[in-house]
Structure 1
């Protein structure tokens, strides 16, 4: 029970330090800068210290370079990871009929940090130019560590990139 209380206290303290968005909305929808990050408490054994890591993801972005695609990335950050790796999964989703549907999934096992070598990518080749609303959902599972089921949902973006 004490470990659960410490996890919740740590999470509440992390959330109180500022907004979850790490960058403002951009006028240029193709901007792949980070859209958001969210603290995700790991669940320690009673003798381990409580640790919080961040799940990061960028806005879904559109590339008109043939073939036209929608793309998103996900990563994790933790200054105390000591070389640990995590399986990062990115679900690329579209909104249809008021519900979100996954159209592509990418995953990669990486060390923390982001950047082109330390992130997962999901990509979908556009089918036509119908206006479609997109988001990504990022899940980080640190290998060998029980962590929270929290997932990052990036803010929706709309592009002329249909799904068929």
Structure 2
């Protein structure tokens, strides 16, 4: 991280975001008497809120309810907090973790790209060759990078085995 020019503050923020993602996995929901979800252990959400530097009650409310705004004729109308069941609350928790991870990944990729950009006349490029026939996206996600990496490894193994077989046939 030091080599690509990340400051200590940026490194600390990366580790904070990773800790938040991991701790979000520890958030469990129970069904309350009214059938709505409640956070099983508020100490977990309070710790996540501490790392996020937000209020713990607001975080717990955000995970267990959604806000709906009813408008009338383009004007702001009534605002309602609709409680979520445990399945919906788990989906919200997972979506939050995935969004944080996605944004962190894209930020790290951008930082690495800016560190690799040439500051002199010589330019160096590190790239991953994509196998013909796969999708081309404007921006690749982490999942797409993993898929491309595995495909490249499989292609490399195939080529090595094919060349080895051809060399054995020649000998």
TM-score bracket, normalised by the shorter chain, equals: under 0.3
Answer 1 or 2: higher relative contact order, Cα 8 Å, separation at least 6. 1
Bigger strand share: 1
Q: Who wins on radius of gyration, i.e. which is larger?
A: 2
The structure richer in helix per residue is: 2
- TM (normalized to structure 2)? 0.26
Q: State the TM-score, normalized to the length of structure 1.
A: 0.27
